[in-house]
Amino acid sequence: MWLDLGVYDIHTLLAPLIPDQNIEIYMDELEQISRAFAVIIDKKSAFTHHHSLKISERAFKMAQALGYDEKKCRKMKISGYLHDIGKLIVPNSILDKPDKLTKDEMLLIKKHPYYSKFILKQIKGFEDIAEWGPNHHENLTGTGYPEGISGSQFTEESQIMAICDIYQALTEDRIYRSGMSHDDAVIIINKLVDKRYYERYIFDEFLKIH
Ligand SMILES: [Fe+2]
């Protein structure tokens, strides 16, 4: 609710400026546009230069491995491309800060998936895309963010995004540490699976696509 209050004014201010028009686009174009956005999002920080592209690629492979139909696989790809679009509101001075973040800076970073969902929800037909990717910092126990969803609310599709995201984040360099090896990242995610953050069969499937 507090997060909603923060964007209410922006929405009210923008509404009279943006023409109310409906544009229909095909899946191929949608993939291309989403990919272009992914490049913009990833290039915001040198440490994430192919973050969304890799998550999209793995989420697509996972969707295929789990037998999703073609349309759903492509929606997973798009959701991966756009899962971090809310990061565009976080200044680089915070994203690339080498020192410990202040409480307020951490709070702003933790809002980015909320903004991803808020932005994507504006698009008709993006109902699933706006859920799956933007839930990438949630987990089954309800200790994730920004909404703290748990159990059946944290769907298989969202769990795929979360596992792809954490693997990618752990194996990428950060300003305060180097990227981990595949084996070390697997050990860490395995511990999270033991703590019931994600379902075991989804992580097993993830390991098979490598
Ligand atoms: Fe994120």
The proportion of the chain whose per-residue pLDDT surpasses 70, expressed as a percent, equals 94
- The answer to whether the pTM exceeds 0.75 is yes
Q: How many angstroms is it from 105 CA to the middle of ligand 1?
A: 15
Question: C-alpha angle 13/14/17, rounded to 5°?
Answer: 115
Q: How many angstroms is it from 12 CA to the middle of ligand 1?
A: 26
Q: How many angstroms is it from 19 CA to the middle of ligand 1?
A: 30
Instruction: Dump pLDDT digits (tens) for 124-164.
Output: 999 999 999 999 999 999 999 999 999 999 999 999 999 99
Instruction: Dump pLDDT digits (tens) for 118-132.
Output: 999 989 999 999 999
Question: What is the full DSSP assignment across 83-152?
Answer: TTGGGGGS-HHHHT--SPPPHHHHHHHHTHHHHHHHHHHTSTT-TTHHHHGGGTT--TTS-SSSS---GG
Q: What letter does residue 44 receive in the DSSP assignment?
A: T
- State how far the Cα of 67 lies from the Cα of 18, in Å rounded to an integer: 40
Instruction: Dump pLDDT digits (tens) for 83-115.
Output: 999 999 999 999 988 899 999 999 999 999 999
Q: Looking at beta carbons, which pairs linking 179-188 to residues 24 or more positions away fall under 8 Å?
A: 182/210
Q: How many angstroms is it from 16 CA to the middle of ligand 1?
A: 31
Active site residues: 87
Are the beta carbons of 109 and 100 closer than 8 angstroms? no
Instruction: Dump pLDDT digits (tens) for 36-83.
Output: 999 999 999 888 889 999 999 999 999 999 999 999 999 999 999 999
Per-residue pLDDT, 142 = 98
Amino acid found at 170: L
Domains and CATH numbers, the chain: 37-208 (1.10.3210.10)
State how far the alpha carbon of 21 is from the alpha carbons of 13, 14, 123, in Å: 17, 14, 11
